């Protein structure tokens, strides 16, 4: 019973969502009950997300609180996490001033001048990591790696004015590499992904694959 009901629910809802994809859901010409139920299901996802978000935040806070209580290494960072999380909640709930809901200037300030720069800092690190990864990837250790090095060098040169200055046909060669062999490889991967995704969805809907729901494939 522990797995039968979830498997049956996944089967019925999966079958409905599959059917709904092929049924016209237009407000004027479509089938009304299919559209209504389809939209209802999609909105229920948001309701579930709200409850699990509460669960998620609680596990985060309790985990870090326990780390501080047990005086474990890195407890200072745990303190920063708790104070930051609760601080943002406090600003959002209690420091609203005269502003209405959604117009909290202090909360927006904290978001714009703390959260956004911190995210931007992490993102900008990518430039350095791309350089170090590219250095490793472009070492000509094998014929395949050499081929990739040559292709990458051609494409990079083709994208800058220097490439056209070296040889006028270089931009065209770069485009050819991107549009023919590169695109063929990308499409092959995309088709494989589509098939794998469909196969996984079918296995889940028909209850062949149940590992994700903790039934160990029984």
Partner 1 sequence: MIPLLLAAPSWFMGDRLGAFVASLFFTVAIFGALTMARKGAQFYIRHIPGLDAVEEAIGRATEMGKAILYCPGLSSAADVATLASLNILGRVAQKVASYESRLIVPHRDPIVMTVARETLKDAYLQAGKPEVLNTEDNFFITEDQFGYTAAVNGIIVREKPATIFLQGMFYAESLLLAETGNAIGAIQIAGTDAVVQLPFFIAACDYTLIGEELYAAGAYLSKDPALLSSLKASDLVKGVLWLMIVVGAGLGMGGSGLMVGIFG
Which residues are at the interface with partner 1 (CB under 8 A)?
18, 21-24, 29-32, 45, 48-49, 52-57, 59-60, 63, 66, 73-74, 77, 115, 118-120, 122-123, 125-126, 129-130, 132-134, 136-137, 186, 189-193, 195-204, 206, 208-209, 211-217
- Angle, alpha carbons 31-37-38 (nearest 5°): 85
Tell me whether residue 58 or residue 169 sits nearer to partner 1 (CB atom): 58
Select 48 or 100, whichever has its Cβ closest to partner 1: 48
Which residue is listed with tokens 């609180």?
A: 65
Nearest to 204 by CA among 52, 17, 34: 17
Shortest Å, Cβ 93 to partner 1: 19
Q: Least distance (Å) from partner 1 to the CB of residue 218?
A: 9
Closest distance to partner 1 from the beta carbon of 109 (Å): 17
Minimum distance, C-beta of residue 108 to partner 1, in the bound complex (Å): 16
Q: What's the N-to-C CA distance of the chain in angstroms?
A: 12
**Torsion angle, CA of 173/178/183/189, rounded to 10 degrees?**
130
Query: Which burial class, exposed, middle or buried, applies to 209 when counting CB atoms under 10 A from its CB (0-12, 13-18, 19+)?
Result: middle
173-198 in b/e form (b: 16+ CB < 10 A) is bbeebeeeeeeeeeeeeeeeeeeeee
Nearer to partner 1, 6 or 164 (CB): 6
């Amino acid at each position: 019973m522990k797995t039968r009901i979830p498997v049956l629910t996944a089967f019925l809802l999966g079958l409905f969502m599959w059917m709904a994809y092929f049924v016209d859901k237009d407000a004027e010409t479509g089938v009304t009950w299919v559209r209504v139920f389809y939209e209802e299901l999609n909105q229920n996802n948001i309701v579930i997300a709200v409850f699990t978000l509460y669960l998620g935040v609680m596990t985060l806070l309790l985990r870090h609180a326990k780390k501080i209580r047990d005086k474990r290494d890195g407890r200072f960072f745990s303190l920063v996490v708790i104070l930051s999380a609760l601080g943002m909640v406090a600003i959002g709930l209690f420091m609203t001033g005269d502003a209405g809901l959604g117009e909290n200037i202090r909360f927006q300030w904290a978001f714009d001048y703390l959260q956004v720069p911190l995210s931007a800092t992490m993102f900008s690190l990518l430039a350095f990591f791309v350089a170090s990864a590219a250095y490793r990837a472009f070492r000509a250790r094998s014929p395949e790696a050499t081929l990739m090095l040559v292709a990458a060098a051609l494409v990079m040169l083709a994208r800058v004015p220097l490439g056209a200055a070296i040889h006028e046909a270089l931009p065209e060669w770069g485009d050819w590499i991107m549009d023919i062999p590169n695109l063929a490889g990308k499409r092959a991967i995309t088709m494989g992904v589509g098939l794998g995704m469909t196969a996984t969805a079918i296995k889940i809907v028909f209850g062949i694959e149940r590992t994700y729901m903790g039934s160990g494939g029984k």
